[in-house]
Amino acid sequence: MAYAASAIRGAISDIPAEMAIAIATIRQNLLTVRLPSVHARWDGKACAKTVNIDSPSSPYSGGGSGIMRTLPTHQPTGTMAEYYDFRTLEERWRNQWEADKTFAVSTDPTREKYYLLEMFPYPSGKLHVGHLRNYTIGDAIARMKRMEGKNVLHPIGWDAFGMPAENAAIQRKSHPATWTMSNIDEMRRQFKLMGISYDWDREVATCHPGYYRWTQWIFARMLDEGYAYRKSSPVNWCESCGTTLANEQVVDGACWRCDNTVVLQEREGWFLKITAFAEELLDGLDGLTDGWPERVLTMQRNWIGKSVGAEVTFQVEGGGEITVFTTRPDTLYGATFMALAPEHPLALKLAEGIETEREVKAFIDEMAGQDAEQRTGEKAEKRGVFTGRFARNPLNGELIPIWLANFVLIDYGSGAIMSVPAHDERDFAFARQYDIPIRIVIAPEGGDDKDWLAEAESMTDAFSGDGIMVNSGPFSGQENRGMGIERVVEELERRNIGKRQVNYRLRDWGISRQRYWGSPIPVIHCPACGPVRVPDADLPVILPTDIPFPEDGKSPLHTDPAFYEAACPACGGPGRRETDTMDTFMCSSWYFNRYPSARCEAALADKADLDYWTPVDQYVGGIEHAILHLLYARFFNRFLHSIGVTSRPEPFARLLTQGMVVKDGAKMSKSKGNVVPLDEMAAKYGADATRLFILFAAPPERDLEWSDAGIEGASRFMNRISRFVIGSLNRLKGAAAPATPADLPKELADIRRLTHRTIERVRGDFGRFQFNTAVAAVMEMLNGVTGHFGADGGQGEGTGGDAVLAEAVGTMLTLLYPITPHLTTDLWSRIAPEAPLWDRPWPVADPLCLTRDELLIVVQVNGKLRSRITVPADMSEEAVKETALNDPKIVESLGGKPPRKVIVVPGKLVNIVA
RNA sequence: GCGAAAGUGGCGGAACUGGUAGACGCACUGGACUUAGGAUCCAGCGGAUCGCUCCGUGGGGGUUCGAGUCCCCCCUUUCGCACCA
């Protein structure tokens, strides 16, 4: 007894000396230490203390690291709980995994591969538990797949270019590179601390020249293939970020990163022709329906926004023509006016020299001064002005007025529309406001034969449904859908005044950023040759990091002659290097193709490696990238596939979008000030307990509410399983294979059934990534097993139970390993030091152990639970029915009424209808 | 406005194809071990009567021997889209 107290005294130097006057008792394998109550606290904080008892005479000394226990300091006094020493144990295995490169993999076509990827992080500082969820889910999958025998590629890297580094540099009077690198170091440490099983040899950072060389190379290929081009156009400008943004990066009229209102500004810049892939990107989604969440597919479909219709040309009375796009050529006879966007090239021209000119000009000027919110926002009302000119309806020859309207968008279709107020809500509202005639040309199916021309007067809403064409010349009487549309288009094509046309909402991707911390665009502008791309041999164009970063945040590239002065690669004359940098989304659009051969110098990636590893089998990340990153990455991959670089058109076979971590009703984030620091959790509860809680608290797709009490529970479970396994150790060494259930006493057969049923449940749960129920199943199993063997695993010693116990312990540790790898590995190493847990195969349930010889049958009367009966498993349906009917509770419940009908669900229930 | 998902104890959440609602965990209550207990162990824990029983999965209808689960209507919340012709 005495050694325990002295061990404690020695181990905790900061406990006051009198504290060590402790009473220690050992009962079974549990050490209980009592301390005098006068020492209410020796440290005001509610954190834990660790006590290492590692005496040679200790019953716990066999395991090497010994048993350690934490003593919660907030207890006034305390018996030490049976805590496990997660600090020492987690560090030990973490170090071993790193030293041995346990999770490093190589291309091996003889083995089945599994590529698991979490969206790589932006190195913004330290990780908090909100970040961790993504990586914990990924790690659980990776570790499980390894146990299933797969060759698992599980890499990590850093999305390391971007604005926040520049902002931080200004604030700290530092340099974006310095800030980024130190964040990467910090976060790498934290990933290792949490025991995420990455192949660190494949780490990439997008700001490394060895990486962005290939980002530039991809841009060069796009330039060669005509998918990268330069144009001047109105682009989204974020004043607070001091840069332009792509359409995808504008959310509700505001910058996706800083939430500042975005304004349109005419600027010249580089664009990528993502629209050329619109159809492919849309079609590709059909192949992802099994593996991607439906709502992500829907969001991408909506974003691409395909519309099928026709292009129709209208002749302007007095010269000129206007082309419109419509999805409803069947309503052409109902077009009673045309409307142009105020920015339309003809807008002012039409009114030139006639009496409407001044009014039209005023309208155009007014609209030019409005931002997107005023123009197309929720409260924007329909506004317009008559140009004074008319166009001729190409089918019925009628003259219709040409208007300018605020609701017509210049950058969709041709920036002009034909307006059919009877069958389009927007046109209807506009027509009513400006007293433009409304003409019905589609009659609702089954509607009475009315005078449809007169009917328009009393319309209160546009009718946008389908029906029969009326007032439509030779087309009248047809169904509009299908044949009607088809016939009209044929007629337009025959007369050469229109044609079939598909339009997309998707726009080309503007990638020029007027910032410093990004990949340089490999182009030199030459006064003679125009923009010329830098030859491949000269890549990468290095982003200079040795130039001072100015305090005003302006990109030093624009003002650094050493950077921008360059000879034209084509003519050798003096040129100017492109000083804008690339959108960082370009860097993250292909990184998953780099991991398979992360250090490849000769190419973006080695083809054999790509053939073997891609596509990513399971991608894990946040829903916020449903469009942004996931659309760009698909685009890049398809482009690279089209030029023979990547092996598959689609990059991600399956996608899991995890929910956010919320605390106090808000998403956990630094700006909200509700973060739970990772280091703190690791120090207080350990990496395993933190991981366990994250996976246990909610299914992955749903939001997770952080709970300080919840992680205490996770920690308790770690403690209980640790106590149980350590207590059982002496029974496990050399335990034989368990006997078949038939040869075991009922209680032990039940334990084996519990073991194998748990294997079944966890298998199913892992398959659906329902880690919360998988954990619950193992918790249940531990409850059942401790119920039989005792919390210390010592009960029933010397019986044939050792083998059953050994099977149960091995199973629990294996099933839990993907979630809490450190503790399970450590405990297993005490049972079988020669074979590490991570090399064990994933368990398979033995059907023999799942069978039962007795079944519990629920008996209902009129659907209400009335009794439960236990019957032999092989009892016939008829006999089960009889047993149920003769059950005393059922007899009473029936009260002599004869059963009208009896339903028997084999193995489950009997329902008696009376 | 349109579309999608979701509403289950005090809380997080289970219930796979309709078949014992509330697994597992948290919180709470009682007990044990104790000088002490915010540790540990045991027990209880949807509501009402607290014996049998009745009512309970947002509300209302329906289908069925049987509905948290399927169908219809409504309410609430979250997310996405919102002049894209």
3-state class (DSSP) for residue A446: coil
Is residue A520 located within the same domain as residue A540?
yes
Instruction: Report the nearest residue to nucleotide B64, CA vs C1'.
Output: A863
Give distance CA A790 / C1' B42 (Å).
Answer: 12
pLDDT confidence of residue A63: 26
Mean pLDDT within A396-413:
92
pLDDT surpasses 90 at A527: yes
Please tell me the distance from the alpha carbon of residue A586 to that of residue A265, in angstroms, as a whole number.
22
Half-sphere exposure of A278 (CA within 13 A, CB side): 17
Q: Is A571 a domain residue? A: yes
pLDDT confidence of residue A54: 29
**Across all strands, nucleotide nearest A75 (CA–C1'):** B38
ipTM of the complex as predicted: 0.95
Give distance CA A881 / C1' B65 (Å).
Answer: 14
pLDDT confidence of residue A373: 67
Give distance CA A866 / C1' B47 (Å).
Answer: 20
Kindly indicate the confidence band of residue A123, based on its pLDDT and cuts at 50, 70 and 90.
very high
User: What are φ and ψ of residue A103, in 5° steps?
Assistant: -105, 10
Mean pLDDT over the full length of chain A: 86
Q: Is A425 a domain residue? A: yes
Q: Is A45 a domain residue? A: yes
Give distance CA A858 / C1' B40 (Å).
Answer: 37
pLDDT surpasses 70 at A2: no
pLDDT confidence of residue A47: 22
Greater model confidence, A717 or A380: A717
pLDDT surpasses 80 at A825: yes
pLDDT tens column, A606-659: 999 999 999 999 999 998 899 999 999 999 999 999 999 999 999 999 999 999
Among residues A503, A526, A554, the one where a domain terminates is A503
Q: Please state, in angstroms and as integers, the Cα–Cα distance from residue A603 to each residue in A158, A161, A542, A597, A607, following that order.
A: 20, 22, 18, 9, 9
Give distance CA A480 / C1' B9 (Å).
Answer: 55
State the total domains in chain A.
5
Is residue A803 located within the same domain as residue A836?
yes
Within its chain, how far is the Cα of A543 from the centroid? 31
pLDDT surpasses 80 at A482: no
Please tell me the distance from the alpha carbon of residue A225 to that of residue A392, in angstroms, as a whole number.
42
pLDDT surpasses 60 at A52: no
Q: Is A839 a domain residue? A: yes
Is residue A427 located within the same domain as residue A352?
yes
**Across all strands, nucleotide nearest A414 (CA–C1'):** B85
Kindly indicate the confidence band of residue A554, based on its pLDDT and cuts at 50, 70 and 90.
confident
Is residue A357 located within the same domain as residue A441?
yes
Mean pLDDT within A521-544:
96
Kindly indicate the confidence band of residue A329, based on its pLDDT and cuts at 50, 70 and 90.
very high
pLDDT confidence of residue A221: 98
Contact A547, A279 (CB under 8 A): no
Is residue A532 located within the same domain as residue A471?
no
Is residue A798 located within the same domain as residue A733?
yes
Greater model confidence, A799 or A130: A130
pLDDT confidence of residue A379: 66
Is residue A415 located within the same domain as residue A534?
no
Is residue A481 located within the same domain as residue A340?
yes
pLDDT confidence of residue A78: 28
Residue-number span of the structural domain to which A253 is assigned:
226-273+508-585
Instruction: Report the nearest residue to nucleotide B24, CA vs C1'.
Output: A776
pLDDT confidence of residue A649: 96
Q: Closest Cα partner for A331 from A229, A173, A441? A: A441
Residue with tokens 């504008």: A250
Is residue A320 located within the same domain as residue A466?
yes
Specify the CATH number for the domain of residue A458: 3.90.740.10
Please tell me the distance from the alpha carbon of residue A417 to that of residue A424, in angstroms, as a whole number.
12
Among residues A447, A479, A503, the one where a domain terminates is A503
**Across all strands, nucleotide nearest A410 (CA–C1'):** B84
pLDDT confidence of residue A19: 33
Give distance CA A860 / C1' B53 (Å).
Answer: 16
Give distance CA A288 / C1' B78 (Å).
Answer: 25
DSSP state for residue A261 in the 8-state scheme: B
pLDDT tens column, A157-190: 999 999 999 989 988 888 999 999 999 999 999 9
pLDDT surpasses 50 at A66: no
DSSP H or E segment with residue A661: strand A661-663
Render A124-192 in DSSP notation, one character per residue. -S--BHHHHHHHHHHHHHHHHHHHTT-EEE---EE---SHHHHHHHHHHTS-HHHHHHHHHHHHHHHHH
Is residue A752 located within the same domain as residue A813?
yes
**Across all strands, nucleotide nearest A38 (CA–C1'):** B36
pLDDT surpasses 70 at A70: no
The percent of residues above 90 in pLDDT, for chain A, comes to 65
pLDDT surpasses 60 at A16: no
* Three-state SS letters, A466-521: CEEECCCHHHCCCEHHHHHHHHHHHHHHHCCCEEEEEECCCCCEECEECCCCCCEC
Please tell me the distance from the alpha carbon of residue A703 to that of residue A718, in angstroms, as a whole number.
24
pLDDT confidence of residue A819: 97
Specify the CATH number for the domain of residue A901: 3.10.20.590
**Across all strands, nucleotide nearest A626 (CA–C1'):** B80
Give distance CA A890 / C1' B63 (Å).
Answer: 27
pLDDT tens column, A222-264: 999 999 999 998 889 988 888 888 888 888 788 888 888 888 8
Among residues A35, A67, A83, the one where a domain terminates is A83
Q: Is A697 a domain residue? A: no
Q: Is A440 a domain residue? A: yes
**Which tokens is A889 given?**
């509770």
Q: Is A212 a domain residue? A: no
3-state class (DSSP) for residue A662: strand
Kindly indicate the confidence band of residue A411, based on its pLDDT and cuts at 50, 70 and 90.
confident
pLDDT surpasses 70 at A4: no
Greater model confidence, A193 or A319: A193
List the Cα angle A298/A300/A304 in 5-degree steps. Answer: 120
Give the range with max mean pLDDT: A237-241, A776-780, A791-795.
A776-780
DSSP H or E segment with residue A848: helix A847-850
Instruction: Report the nearest residue to nucleotide B40, CA vs C1'.
Output: A81
B chain positions with any atom within 7 Å of a protein CB: 3-5, 11-16, 19-21, 23-27, 34-42, 53-54, 65-67, 79-85
Half-sphere exposure of A820 (CA within 13 A, CB side): 32
Is residue A360 located within the same domain as residue A470?
yes
DSSP H or E segment with residue A286: helix A278-286
Is residue A9 located within the same domain as residue A36?
yes
Q: Alpha helix locations (H) across A545-677?
A: 561-564, 584-587, 607-613, 628-642
Q: Is A361 a domain residue? A: yes
